Every structure is written in structure tokens, then in C-alpha cells.
Structure 1
Amino acid sequence: MKTKQNLLTLLLIFLCLFLAGCFSHTNSAAPAPEAEEFEARSAPVAIIPSKLVKSSSVSLSAVGDILIHERVYLDAKTDSGFDFTPMLDEAKPFLEAADITIANSESIVGGDSIGLSTYPSFNSPYEVADALKDTGIDVVSMANNHTLDRGEKAILSAINYWDQLGIQHAGAHASEAERNKLTTLTKNGIKFSFLSYTYGTNGIPTPSGKDYLLNRIDKQTLQTDLAKAKGASDVVVLSLHFGNEYETMPTEEQVELAHFAAEQGADLILGHHPHVLQPVEWIQTTDGRKSFVIYSLGNFLSGQEGLEKQIGGILHIQAVKTTDAESAKFELVKPSFTPTFVESENQKNYNVTLLKNANPEANQSIKQHMARWVKNLAFDE
């Protein structure tokens, strides 16, 4: 009997051990919820770097021909010299507001020490440059059909004075070394280069062996210089003295040359010489860029008379730089235009005012003219 009880006891013990092992195996296969959460929190996470996009911009403004006839500089005469600043007072806020402002210095600013002169052979007082400095001009284009009017001496005198004022110049040079050096400005992390060329010089030849004095329009030269500028800067600004005087639409040659220059790397093309306004245009290049051209900025300050020749304007545009971890992109955006008018009274009291104030009807007509090919062109007045 005792033996049976012992066997029964052993059987019960064995059964308990068996059941305990099964229970233990089942629990080990199902971790507690707290363990799952811990493992999830502890697992390594794949971190994907985000593209950090940064943007900066520079505002540019440009005006047309500064062509100082005798009647204009006589009107600026004072007891101690000349003062042109009152003539630009109304336009000044539109010029100095830009980060970079460009003007076409058509009559050479050689100073009165070599003798002032007017059409057809211009030489203007230094005080013209002083007034441009006061209104915020940063760069002047010097390549035009009047650059050689008073010879090498006037060119060197003008360059020296622009340098004294800290105003950059393009298109005319004091030496071969200066000709080979790019004219550049850097603002807000964007580097600009400035080039300037003219179709001719009214038949006046460049002094022998001194071709560096003046840039003339030549496609091979343009191609070479634009490639150099594009390689050394972010935005290339090109001034072209071309077209036919007093024609309000660009010639086929102007359009072809502007498109050629855009393909070679010009981003902003500023046209001069017609003395009247010609429209603006976006140029889509084969490399995916968009260049902007104004075929003629007209007269900004001159003694020429006649409604169309008294109308000029200020072009405004923004250069934008967008960068991320991989690349930098540059583009021109938001072009706008401010029509201006040179008013006077019997060839006195010359003043650059807003066209909308001088002639509202002409102002409306000019807006339609300038926006002929860029319908969304804005007007900053």
C-alpha cells in the first residue's frame, strides 16, 4: 500500500513539473508589452539629411544716356563751378534704393580743364560725375559713339575721376592690363561682372596700338569676354551701344546680337544709343537660362528736345541666388520700369521728373510700348 502511495506521489510531482515547464515556455514566447516598447525605442533610426535651401537677392537699377549738351551744363553753372544734383533730385529715390545702379555716360566726363564742348564732339564737367555719385550710381558704361570725341586725354581724365569717386567703369580702359581685368561688384554673396561695347565712334579711329582704350562690338570678342565673365562671376551685365537713333523698335541686328550675347552668357543686356525707349524682352537660352534685355533705355538726362527724346526711364530687376547642399542657382526676377521725363523751360531749369507727372497720356502709351513683349512688366512709379 505504501509503495502505491509513493508511486502516486511521484506521479503527481512529475505532472506538476511538466505543467510548470509548459507554462514557462509559453511566457518566454510572448514578451511583456513593456519589453516591446523598449526594443522599439532602442532600435537604430536611419537619419536622412534634409536639403537646407537658402536664398539671397540683389536689386539692380539702370538708366540710359547721360548726354550733356551745352544748354544743360550752362544751366548747371554756379559761381564756383557746376551743380547738376538738383536736376536729379526727383529721380534720386528710385536710383539710390537699389543695391547696384548703372548709367550710360555718353558724353565723356573729361573735366573743364581740357575745355568743355557740346554736340557733335562732347566733353562734360566732372560735376556730372559728382551728381551721379550723389544719386547712387555704382557703375558707368563708357563705350559709345562719343567716347573718342576728345581723344585719349579725355578718356584717361574721365577714368581717373571715376576711380577717385569709387564708381566702377566698363567699356573704356587706361591700359591693356585694365582691359584684361573684369569690372566686378559683389553684393549679398552674388558676384556681378560688367561689360560694355559700342558699334562705332562716328568715324573716329582708335589711336594706333591702343585698342584697349575702347571696346567695339565684335562677335568673337564678345564670345571670349562673356565666357571669361561667366566663369568668374554669377551674373553678367552687358551694355550694348547699338541700333538706329530715334527708332522706337529694335532692328533685326539688335535682336540677333542680343540673342547671341544671351547664348554666350549675358544675363542682363542694357541697350543704348537710339535716344528713345525700346521694349524689353525675356530671352530663353538653349542651356535653360532666361536672360533679360531692354533694347534701349532712352535719354535719362540730355538737352535733346521732342517728346520721345525727352522720355527715358529706370529699369529695375532682382538677381536671386538659391543654394542647397548640392548646388547654387541664379536667376533674374521681377522686372519693373519707371518712365521718366526731362523737362525744361526755354532751355533752362532742366529736371528729370516722373513721366506720369509731366504727361499722363504719354505715360500710359509708354507703358504699353515697353510691355509689348513682356505683358506682366510692372511699373514702379
Structure 2
Amino acid sequence: MKLRKGRAAGALAVLLAIVAGGIGCGTIVGKANNDPQEDSKAEGTTVPEETTEEQTTLPPDKVVHVTAAGDNLIHHSVMVNARELAGGSGYDFKPLYSEVKYLIQDADVAVLNQETVISESNEVRGAEGGVLIFNSPPEVADAVIDLGFDVFTMANNHLLDMGTSGLEESINFWNRKAVENDLTVLGAYLDEEDANNIRVREVNGVKIAFLAYAEHINGFDALLDDVPLRVIKNDEEDVIERQIKQARQIADAVIVSAHWGAEDTTIVSEDRTELANKMVEWGADVILGCHTHTAQTMEWIERDDGTKGFVYYSMGNFICAQTDNFNVVGELADFDIVIDGTTGELRLEDVGCIPTIVHYESEFSNMKIYPYSKYSPELAERHGLPYAVPQGTYTDFGWDVLNDIIDEAIPTEFRKLDK
């Protein structure tokens, strides 16, 4: 309600008199003892009590998203595709991996099992004619580095396909690539000292140790007797235990690549489950299985103290030109390493895998790797596997066959079909 002009003037006069009286007395109310509570009593108002308690913010968790792939198996027909993509001069492997590039680049750390050596002084080989000898051109490395992989494991049975000189050349090749591109390379070593130099990569403030072991090297063990080159095999459990425990002391997380198992089967052998349990008990947080050329199951393993590790028994093939239907279905391991910001404890979250399909058509043409989410019944019907030469044993393929393979190999709770 607005005051009329006369009443407003009167009110103003009263206010001025009050103010003048206060000044004339020379007294500031409530300032004699600097007590805000007394001020509030005198003025009839309430002043909140002061608090000295400081608000605290909990430190954030550290998170590393990890993706890992199985065998990068460069068969002759894979190289033929790359040569044609390069116009007949050299090799261009990059288009073969283009459909999964977004998944690899989305990871903070991406791990690949490089199944074949790269020895530039030897003729490239891709198991043509049924002779299981491999040697890949250097363009393979360029492609998978461009794809986004930054950790490469080499512990596999094909390490000596080009002899000890070829292995040494391949190790030196990858060591140069590591320096040039900030990579982590392991699994085959120049000497014992190199083998005991545990690789640790720090990502997002988390130190991750990487180790890699091979079940066998195709019976060529004697070739290593007279050279300093070193490959640690799965039966050297004393070495593996020592290395995992040492890695546990110098890193926040430990990832082990295990090249093991019988080829072309989805059955997980008892010796692998036993070794996996030992590795986890010794301190491995994640085991990345390779070698069987088939996608296999995975599971949590509980330690005696109640904590857990996780094992992918086999991720199958990343790329290949094999001709049994189970050989063209692989897994991209996909999980988060989380270090609790308050306790510093490690946990694994969002653990699972993304099914992948190596697609090719008539005479191994139009080869590409697809994630399940980008594959389709139409592509499955065009797959060249039923007509491939040499012909495999399990030659049926189609959308239903693909899903049957996934249903058998990958537990439902770990399937990531929409990534």
C-alpha cells in the first residue's frame, strides 16, 4: 500500500529523528563486546552460529578403459587383400581393420597379440600351401599402430618361424616402433636381463604391468640354447610367480597375456584353469588368453583373501583367413580398471567382451573385421567360408550359425553386443 504524500513526509521526519539521536549519543549498539549473539538479542533477530567444520571433497577414482584383441594372424589371403588395396605395390592393411577402429581408439589402453614375426630380411610368408610358417611385412605394424593399439605381446608359438635371426630382427623392429610411437612391447626378449625388465605403462595415473608367456614354440626350443634370446614358457612357473609378484609391487594392476590351450576347440583344459588360478593368486588381475583360434569362455577367479581376478581363456582370432566357422569369430576383451580414490584399492568394472567377425567373400575378397553390432544377416549370408579353398571341416555359416557360436563361447552376462 502506497503512503499518501502527507503521511510519507511524517514518516521521514520520524526516521531522521531516530538516526540523529543515535549519532548524538555516540553509541554503536552491539559493538561494545563484539558479541553477535548479544546483537541479535538487542535487535530481535537470529544470527546463525558460526561453524569451523570444513567441507571435504573425496578424491576421485582413477579409471582406465582397456580393450584387448586376440591373434593378429596374417595368412597369405590377408596379405593378398592388403596388396590389392595398395594397388599391387606394397601392402595396405588399414582398411581391413577400419570397422573396429572406433573401439580400439576409444580405449585408454589397447592390447594386441601379434601372432606373426616381422623379419624384413626374409620373404613374407602367410602359411600358403598348408605350410604353417609366417612372416609379415612391416605394413602390418603400421596398420595396427594406426588402429590405436599401444601394447603388443609376442609370446606365441610362431616366434621362430624365421629362425633365431628372424626373431632377433623382429624384436629389434618392434623395439624401434616402441620408441617412435610410445608403445609397450613384450613376450620375446633379446636376453635374460631384457626378459626380467617388467614392462609398466602409466595411464590416467594408474601403473599397469604387462607380462606375457607362451605354452610352446612349435618344438624349436633347442634353437634358443646357443643364443641369448629369451622366451618365457608356461611351464616355468617359478619364473612366472616371481615376475607376477614383482609386478604387483611396482604397479597398481597386473595384466598377463597367456598363449595356451589346444587349437580349434572351445573346451578349457584343466591345466589352464589350474595355471589361471595360480596366476590370479600370485597377483594377476586380468589374464588375456590367446592361441586356440577360437572364442572361449571367461570367468572371475577369487583369491584366498576374497579379492578377484578375471580370465579370458581365449579371445580367438583378431584377423585370419581360416576356413572353419569357429575360427572367424573372436572377442575384444573390454573392461575398466578402477583405483578407488579413497582406499587405493583396485576393482574391475564393466567386464565383458565384444564379439567380432572376420568377414570375407568369394576367394577371400572384401576382407574386414566387424564388431557384432555392425554385422548383419545379409553379410553373414555373403560370407565366403562355405566355399573357401582349402575347405574347412565346419563350413556352415549364416546369422544363426554365428549366434550359436557366440552362445556357446561367451556367457550371457559378459556379452557386449551393442558396442
Quickly name the TM-score band, shorter chain normalised.
0.7 to 0.9
- What's 1:85 paired with? 94
Equivalent position amino acid for 1:149 in 2:
D
- What's 1:294 paired with? 312
1:11-30 alignment, distance < 5 Å: none
- What's 1:322 paired with? 340
Greater Cα offset, 42-51 or 68-77: 42-51
Q: How many residues align?
A: 344
Equivalent position amino acid for 1:245 in 2:
E
1:249 correspondence with 2:298: no
Q: Whose Rg is larger?
A: 1
1:1-381 alignment, distance < 5 Å: 34=38, 52-77=58-83, 78=86, 79-111=88-120, 113-119=121-127, 120-165=132-177, 166=181, 167-205=183-221, 206-210=223-227, 212-217=229-234, 218-324=236-342, 327-344=343-360, 345-355=362-372, 356-357=375-376, 358=380, 359-372=398-411, 375=413, 377-381=415-419
* Higher normalized strand content (fraction of residues): 1
Separation of aligned partners in 2, 1:148 and 1:83: 25
When residues 368 and 347 of structure 1 are mapped into structure 2, their CA distance, relative to the original with a 3 A threshold, is closer
When residues 238 and 254 of structure 1 are mapped into structure 2, their CA distance, relative to the original with a 3 A threshold, is same
Separation of aligned partners in 2, 1:239 and 1:57: 21
Q: Is the 8 A contact 1:239 1:270 kept in 2?
A: yes
Q: Is the 8 A contact 1:301 1:352 kept in 2?
A: yes
Superposition deviation, residue 48 in structure 1: 8.6
Equivalent position amino acid for 2:358 in 1:
V
Separation of aligned partners in 1, 2:70 and 2:370: 14
Superposition deviation, residue 375 in structure 1: 3.0
- What's 2:17 paired with? none
Aligned to 2:408, the other structure's residue is in SS state helix
Superposition deviation, residue 47 in structure 1: 5.3
Q: Unaligned stretches of 5+ in structure 1?
A: 1-32
Q: Is the 8 A contact 1:152 1:213 kept in 2?
A: no
Equivalent position amino acid for 1:368 in 2:
D
TM-score (normalised: structure 1): 0.83
TM-score (normalised: structure 2): 0.76
Superposition deviation, residue 232 in structure 1: 0.8
Separation of aligned partners in 2, 1:45 and 1:209: 76
Separation of aligned partners in 1, 2:267 and 2:402: 17
Superposition deviation, residue 377 in structure 1: 4.4
Separation of aligned partners in 1, 2:418 and 2:168: 37
Greater Cα offset, 332-341 or 295-304: 332-341
Superposition deviation, residue 226 in structure 1: 0.2
When residues 353 and 213 of structure 1 are mapped into structure 2, their CA distance, relative to the original with a 3 A threshold, is same
Q: Is the 8 A contact 1:336 1:379 kept in 2?
A: no
When residues 354 and 43 of structure 1 are mapped into structure 2, their CA distance, relative to the original with a 3 A threshold, is closer
Q: Is the 8 A contact 2:353 2:414 kept in 1?
A: no
Q: Is the 8 A contact 2:189 2:195 kept in 1?
A: yes
Superposition deviation, residue 42 in structure 1: 12
RMSD (Å) for aligned C-alpha atoms: 2.5
Aligned to 2:95, the other structure's residue is in SS state helix
Q: Is the 8 A contact 2:352 2:413 kept in 1?
A: no
Separation of aligned partners in 2, 1:51 and 1:157: 52
Identity, in percent, stands at: 31
Q: Per-residue CA shift, 1:211-241, capped at 9, x if unaligned?
A: 6421211211110110111111111110111
Separation of aligned partners in 1, 2:335 and 2:307: 16
Q: Per-residue CA shift, 1:147-206, capped at 9, x if unaligned?
A: 111122222222222233333211101233321211121111101111111111111024
Separation of aligned partners in 1, 2:292 and 2:263: 4
